[in-house]
Structure 1
Amino acid sequence: MPTLTKLYTMDEASQHNTKDDCWIVIDGKVYDVSSYLDEHPGGDDVVLATTGKDATDDFEDAGHSQEARELLQSFCIGELDPTAPVIPELEISSKKQPAVNSQKLQDLTKQYWAVPVAIAGISVVVGFLYLRKK
């Protein structure tokens, strides 16, 4: 009887990103490496830096041995759901609504226009006085 493989989304896997609860995704498989972090030869920070993304390239670039690859299999808890989007859907704002940040910037520009004008005016006066003394 075949065992059912648990499917996880990247969003689910990325929520496990602490030293006490650390999941990584390599080659479409999800691994719970929480119990191994203290033993990892490269340190736990190297592994923690790969949470929340596909760590396949990082794993391959590190040049792990066959023994390390076999050990990794013992931490496998499931697979990445191939039907789930890798990147969460972005909320597209309506063009009918003016952006709040641009409105704030316009307000600040209208309110503080005198400061750069004053600095430019003072610079002109100081320059004129300096040239007049020569």
Structure 2
Amino acid sequence: MPTISKLYSMEEASQHNTKEDCWVVIDGKVYDLSSYMDEHPGGDDVIIASTGKDATDDFEDAGHSDDARELMNKFCIGELDTSSPVSGEQLADKFKRLTKQYWAVPVAVVSISVIVGFLYLRKK
């Protein structure tokens, strides 16, 4: 018989954001890491900072081992309900992360434009 996974909204997962009650969403799955907080090698503050958002990128960027990925199965309590609407706060958070991640592209474009403009004017 297939296991029926409980669905949680991002809003519901984000309400569990303390050391004693901490849920994280990674790859569409919801994990209750409350009992693991003291054992996490990166400290509990790293996990708490990832509550209330999709922490997949943070998890992948940290370079977790295969053992860590295997350990995650123990803490999985359900899946993220993707049918629920995205809140404005979640969109704003995603936009902030994207602008932090890709700030170099607009800066490079503006810099190159200024240099080309300066060289063009200098030749005249």
Task: Give 5+ residue unaligned stretches, structure 1.
Answer: 90-134
Query: Is 1:33 matched with 2:30?
Result: no
| Aligned residue identity for 1:83 | S
Q: Distance in 1 between the 2:70 and 2:14 partners?
A: 23
Deviation at 1:49, TM superposition (A): 0.3
Deviation at 1:66, TM superposition (A): 0.4
Which runs of structure 2 are paired with 1:1-134 in the superposition (5 Å)? 1-87=1-87
Q: Scaled by the length of structure 1, what TM-score is found?
A: 0.64
Count, aligned residues: 89
Q: Distance in 2 between the 1:42 and 1:63 partners?
A: 12
Fraction of identical pairs, as percent: 76
Moved over 3 A (4+): none
CA RMSD of aligned residues (A): 1.2
Q: Scaled by the length of structure 2, what TM-score is found?
A: 0.69
Q: As a proportion of its length, which structure holds more helix?
A: 2
Task: Give 5+ residue unaligned stretches, structure 2.
Answer: 90-124
Deviation at 1:85, TM superposition (A): 1.7
Deviation at 1:86, TM superposition (A): 2.8
Secondary structure, aligned partner of 2:59: helix
Structure with bigger gyration radius: 1
Q: Distance in 2 between the 1:16 and 1:46 partners?
A: 15
| Aligned residue identity for 1:52 | G
